Amino acid sequence: MSFPTHRYRRLRLTESLREMVRETTLAPSDFIAPLFVVPGEGVRQPVPSMPGVDRTSCELAAKDAKELFALGVKSVILFGIPDQKDAAGTSSADPEGPVCKAVRAIKSESPGTVVMTDICLCEYTDHGHCGVLSGETVDNDPTLRILAEEALAHAKAGADVVAPSDMMDGRVAAIRKALDASGFQSVPILSYAAKYASGFYGPFREAAESTPSFGDRRAYQMDPANVREAVKEVLSDVEEGADLVMVKPAMAYLDVVRAVKEATNVPLAAYNVSGEYAMVKAAERNGWIDGKRVTLEILTSIRRAGADLILTYHAKEAATWLA
């Protein structure tokens, strides 16, 4: 049953035919756009290593979210850069901090936007680690309470989804419990369940000012060599109450996306992270690749691997191309 009876090229002859037999779709509603929010008003600072990405004050974040919504991107995820940092990341739960203010601004400017907030302490601690320290180690259990308070503050501000990215054990359960105890039973948790200790986060750390002042995150984020462990992480987060789960980064971890997809039935997100974005932009600027074509190919491959949703800095341009 092969050539010449079968000629696979028959179904590749025209764009209409190709579209009819296409196995994977890509739409603006698949995207979640990350937004960096800073204190102040009228602030828009480009992030040098991420052309097209800005850090903005809250009212401009609201404007951007509204524009994204009009392009079909229904969701944003907020990262805050606070004025004040301390050892315990106290400002992470400040109702007047940039994230809470941006949540309120976006919900009033663009009520249909699903506003997610990143729950972590690395932007709020003066040492840049994702939890409180005991010596040079991040202390898991005392960190859980602070993360739960951060999630609660975001929910009170009106966040539609909270997304813990710290990789502490037990944080999904701790956040679920805190939300439920305060009447936020309906706020879903998107868990960064399989988050790797990756070199691809470089540009983000510049944008979020969250580079650790000593050491690295290998004692809490996952070893890039592991995939069975990713499935274990995801299953336990689902058991703790995660409504959606994430694999991060995406491009170098498509096998992990596939493994997680096969092991679970909750919606799956993948994070097309800052370093992946920066590489495409750099090569495009050098004239080495066709940026649009490569971007759409990458986003399609993440969907093909099994991701339902993609967190991506390409959200706006890709939505424009797909219109």
Catalytic residue selected from 248, 261, 281, 316 = 248
In this structure, the dihedral spanned by the alpha carbons of residues 138, 141, 146 and 149, taken in order and rounded to 10 degrees, is 150
Ramachandran quadrant class, 128 (left: phi over 0; alpha: psi -120 to 50; beta: rest): left
Closer CB to ligand PBG, residue 150 or residue 240? 150
Closer CB to ligand PBG, residue 201 or residue 253? 201
Strand partners, 79: 36
Question: Nearest approach, Cβ of 223 to ligand PBG (angstroms)?
Answer: 14
Provide the CB-side half-sphere exposure for 203 (13 A, CA). Answer: 24
Catalytic residue selected from 101, 107, 195, 281 = 195
Where helices occur in the chain by DSSP H, the ranges are 15-20, 58-70, 98-109, 140-157, 171-181, 202-208, 228-240, 254-263, 274-285, 291-305, 315-322
Chain positions contacting ligand PBG, by CB under 6 A: 118, 120, 122, 165, 201, 204-205, 210, 217, 273-274
Closer CB to ligand PBG, residue 118 or residue 237? 118
Closest CA to 167 of 116, 210, 119: 119
Closer CB to ligand PBG, residue 207 or residue 234? 207
Question: Nearest approach, Cβ of 214 to ligand PBG (angstroms)?
Answer: 14
Verify whether residue 248 is a known catalytic residue. Answer: yes
Question: Nearest approach, Cβ of 83 to ligand PBG (angstroms)?
Answer: 18
Question: Nearest approach, Cβ of 316 to ligand PBG (angstroms)?
Answer: 15
- The radius of gyration computed from the CA coordinates of the chain, to the nearest angstrom, equals 20
CA atoms of 175 and 161, how far apart (whole Å): 12
Closer CB to ligand PBG, residue 139 or residue 209? 209
Closest CA to 242 of 202, 169, 191: 191
Verify whether residue 195 is a known catalytic residue. Answer: yes
CA atoms of 215 and 129, how far apart (whole Å): 9
Give the active site residues. 195, 248
